[in-house]
Amino acid sequence: MRFAQSIVIAGSMMLATAAPCAQAQGLSPADQAQVAQVEAYVNRITTFKADFVQIAPNGATARGTMWIMRPGRLRVEYRPPVKLRIFATPQWLIVEDCKVKEPQYLPLRSTPAGILIQERIALSGEFTVTSVKRENQWITLAIVETKSPEKGQMRLVFRANPLQLIGWTVVDQTGAPTQVSLENVQAGLALDVNQFGFISKCE
């Protein structure tokens, strides 16, 4: 489940930035404007597809593809040798790990993916933007859970012009980082809702 948690939790946090949080943290007006720009950017995204490379704290690498159709749909497929797929419907998050006999069905509202694919993303208060860094053509936002910052940190990386999410790093409470880099990012493309339907592929 570690792979699933890295993508779904990170994915939810990547879209969980809100200007009121930035203001509460005492960021500069320029930083607040940048966070507001990011929030507007993610709320314009209704469909999204990207390949990803995930590097675990121990250096293990996994690759796959993720699709989003907001509201209510998510699909994540890892490439072999990892036999793991994640689907979200408006009611359920389905995790299929072929090492386990049966897929897991979790109520969507009890998972971070519920945040990722909701119709309007505005989470003022739940997450806090602690810093905004600009280096050449890159923008990095550091985010923590407002009530539990000790749980770790999320660093979102964007290309500045045009604004585009290109990856994130999740640092857990032990300081171990899991890095996800996005490739071949496409937003606003036509997706068929049927491709988000779950049919088991485990033998």
By residue range, what is the domain housing residue 141? 2-188
pLDDT for 18 beyond 60:
no
Residue 65 lies in a domain: yes
Residue 104 lies in a domain: yes
What's the pTM? 0.78
CATH number for position 113 = 2.50.20.10
pLDDT tens by residue, 59-107: 999 999 999 998 889 999 999 988 889 998 888 889 998 888 789 998 8
Residue 201 lies in a domain: no
- Half-sphere exposure of residue 111, counting CA atoms within 13 Å on the CB side? 29
pLDDT tens by residue, 139-175: 998 887 777 777 778 888 999 989 998 988 888 888 8
Residues 121-139: what's their mean pLDDT?
A: 77
Neighbours of 96 (CB within 10 A): 20
Residue 57 lies in a domain: yes
What is the tally of structural domains in the chain?
Answer: 1
pLDDT for 180 beyond 80:
yes
